[in-house]
Chains A and B, each alone.
Chain A
Amino acid sequence: MLRVEHLRIGLLPPLSFAVANGECLAVEGPSGSGKTRILRAIADLDPVDGQIFLDGAERGETPAQSWRRAVRYVAAEPGWWADTPRATLADPAESGARVARLLSAVGLSEETLDRPVSQLSTGERLRLALVRALADEPSVILLDEPTGALDVGATALIAELIRFQLLAGRCVLLASHDRALVARLAHARLQLGPPQASPVNGRTLPP
């Protein structure tokens, strides 16, 4: 279970919420309301005051790299540091079978891994980044606009993949403008107002 206490993001009032295993919390609000900042703070990518617990262990007590192996932030804009997607996979030998399954789940063939990143479409890159992020099976998945550049068919595949992650007992935080996707997946919602408006603290209970 992921538990967030008194997280202070910008000018927002302190946020407290919990997400049980297998639950999806949608983070909603207009652009600039702090959705990305919340997800980044939970992955410990920015220095933010407040406590975040994963199964009872606080963020600051866990080595940063182990924290991010368990709490995985998937950015809206995927980053690439090698010529092909395969070179950006953590350990191709170890996660090979899982990567193959994930690729077919998002509707990509395995040869996509060896195409130059510069020749891939935005939608392909987005899905490859998701495959890369899920390959080592993190327990908390923080999704920032996972279907931003995708068509209806690919969006449905992603929705199924997220649902599968929930069934496998992972916590999912979903920041998305896609109302249909949120309606399909979210067990609870964290509504952020425009700046100055007061947000409502969301909470999902263990099933």
Chain B
Amino acid sequence: MSYIPLQLPDLALAALLLIANGVVSIWFRLGLERSLAIAALRMMLQLSVVALALRTIFALNSPLWTVALALVMTAAAAFEIVSRQERRIQGPVAFALGAGAPFFAGLVATLFATAIVIGPDPWYAPRYVLPLFGMMLGNALSGTSLVLDSVTSGAVRDRVAIEARIALGASRFEALDAILRRALTTGLMPIVTAMATTGIVALPGMMTGQILAGIDPVSAAKYQVMIMFLIAGSTGMAVVAAGIGAVLLITDERHRLRLDRLSRS
């Protein structure tokens, strides 16, 4: 039960499997060879950069650099969230919501985990903070993205019913009540499903990683349980913040539905 480091020739060997994908693409004339090659190269480049950055930051062990990398991750998440929307809410506020909801949810959950649950020394140790924050951010990102998309597409689809309620004197939260509830359900569903099926359908990536690194499976499972709770908590926070924020952004203070603030599809 020891860790076997990989060498570059090992990676080259694994890359041979990509050739199978290339053959499929050519055989069925999918035209995916180029995208496949670019995607594979991007993956290698991105992971190399991140790995080197993490190695440097772990060595520095400085809170400042830890925060800096967390902010870069958040900006990437916000960009990803905004660009994933079919009808996106226009303006810098939407970007702030896309960045703010996952960031604060991730921040709270990560600080909770490092400062109270795990308790590394120092508590801001980047080796703990950054991977945890990354996992929180990634899951909060999916939740936020789903919620924003659900609210905007729901409002476009049910515009007539929403405006009928508004015209009868309903407030914006009354009029968008069904939409918001559906959006929150959509945003929370993946983590509920993940918790229910984890370990049966697939071993979670982090647990697999720890096992490969030679950790006892029971210890790895304990870590995974904690991570799932953290993810559930942070996704919940991000989803609620994003849902309420989205309702506020597509309505105004006069309780009007403002679909003109959405980009054209």
Q: Is B189 close to A, CB under 8 A?
A: no
**Closest partner residue, chain B, to A74 (CB atom):** B167
Residue from A74, A81, A136 having most chain B Cβ neighbours under 10 A: A81
For residue B168, CB closer than 8 A to chain A, the reply is yes
A47 to B254, CA, bound (A): 9
B24 at the interface (CB under 8 A from A): no
Q: How far is the CB of B249 from chain A (nearest CB, A)?
A: 15
Chain B residues whose C-beta falls within 8 Å of the C-beta of A47 in the assembled complex: 252, 254, 256, 258
Q: Is the CB of B165 within 8 A of A90?
A: no
- Residue pair B161, A64 in contact (C-beta under 8 Å): no
Residues of A within 8 A of B178 (CB): 81
- A/B pair count, beta carbons within 8 Å: 63
Give which listed residue, A46, A68, A81, contacts B169 with CB less than 8 A. A68
> A75 and B160 in contact (CB under 8 A), knowing A44-B254, A44-B256?
yes
The interface centre, meaning the residue of B158, B163, B169, B258 with most chain A CB atoms within 10 A of its CB, is: B169
Contact residue among B164, B255, B258 (Cβ-Cβ distance under 8 Å from A79): B164
Inter-chain contact A81/B255, CB cutoff 8 Å: no
Partner of A80, one of B161, B252, B255: B161
List residues of B (224-265) whose CB comes within 8 Å of A's CBs.
Answer: 252-258
A58 to B164, CA, bound (A): 23
Distance between Cα atoms of A44 and B256 in the complex (Å) = 8
Q: Pick the residue among B158, B161, B256 that contacts A46 (CB under 8 A).
A: B256
CB distance from B12 to the nearest CB of A (A): 59
- Is A4 among interface residues, defined by CB-CB distance under 8 A? no
Residue of A nearest to B164 (CB): A79
Q: Is residue A205 contacting chain B, with contact meaning CB distance below 8 A?
A: no
- Residues of B near A66 (CB, < 8 A) are 169
Q: A75 — which chain B residues lie within 8 A by C-beta?
A: 160, 163-164, 167
Query: A78 within 8 Å of B by Cβ?
Result: yes
Contact A80 B164 (CB under 8 A): yes
B253 neighbours in A (Cβ, 8 Å):
64
For B135, what are the chain A residues with a Cβ–Cβ distance below 8 Å? none
CA gap between A133 and B167 in the complex, in Å = 9
Contact with B along A104-136 (1 / 0, CB 8 A): 000000000000000000000000010011001
B252 touches A72 (CB 8 A): no
Contacts of A68-118 to chain B: CB distance below 8 A: 68-69, 72-75, 77-81, 88, 90
Interface residues of B in 164-193 (CB under 8 A from A): 164-171, 178
For the complex with contacts A69-B169, A78-B160, A81-B178, 6 further pairs of A-B residues with Cβ separation under 8 Å are A47-B252, A65-B170, A68-B255, A75-B164, A78-B164, A132-B168
